[in-house]
A = this chain, B = another copy of it.
Amino acid sequence: MTQPDRPRVDQRRVGRSRNRRDDILRVAFDLFAERGYRGTSLAAVADRAGLTQQGLLHYFPNKGTLLVEVLELSDELNIGRLFADSPGRPASLDQLAELVAYNVTRPGVVRSLTVLTAESLTDDHPARAYFVERYGEFRRGAAAALRAELDGRLPDGLTAEHASALLIAVMDGLQQQWLLQPDEIDMPGLFAMFLDLLRKTRERD
């Protein structure tokens, strides 16, 4: 393998610009966790990113665009990293359990997504469509994983789609309780117990 050629000046500029965009997205992600989307002004993002507000508008024309790109980047970095073989979709129940264990190591990210998800329920929120889409996709992915491992052996009346909605509810609901009281809520342990409920019922069929 050879060393790549030194980038030409304008490519370097593109690279710098991309880094600057990513920096802004990270700053915004942190601020959304601290203050919520509505509580965060573009001025605050610009200030923490070391830019003028005019400079920030050069990269993101408005706060809604910034939010949607923050969410897309976070999906790419996090879910993409874990579900590399099946982009955006968990391939197995063990991968979901790994995701829950990984989440314990990054309360800031979990907090930001929890706050933003609920905030997307408010009127005219720019990420509403994003979360509707994301939940649909995540339910389908988890249902596929459940079907592959447990199908035909789920309890009577429970389809993979039902179990998938419950599973995602457990993940979200545990995050809320864990973020409020991290010392009282063993998030990965409780999630494993929920998976055992599905599996145990199966074993007894």
Contacts and interface: CB of A to CB of B under 8 A. Distances in A.
A201 B136 CA distance: 29
A170 B171 CA distance: 9
Interface stretch (A73-81, A143-151, A176-184): A176-184
A117 B117 CA distance: 12
A114 B122 CA distance: 10
Contacts of A171: 173
Contacts of A84: none
Interface stretch (A4-12, A33-41, A50-58): A33-41
Given A172-B173, A200-B201, A201-B200, A114 B118 contact: yes
Q: Give the bracket for the number of chain A residues in contact with chain B.
A: 35 or more
B122 A35 contact: yes
Contacts of A174: 165-166, 169
Interface in A170-202: 170-174, 176-177, 179-181, 184-185, 190, 193-194, 196-198, 200-201
Nearest to A134: B180
Contacts of A119: 36, 115, 118-119
Nearest to A163: B193
Nearest to A198: B197
Interface stretch (A21-29, A64-72, A88-96, A154-162): A154-162
A123 interface: yes
A196 B16 CA distance: 56
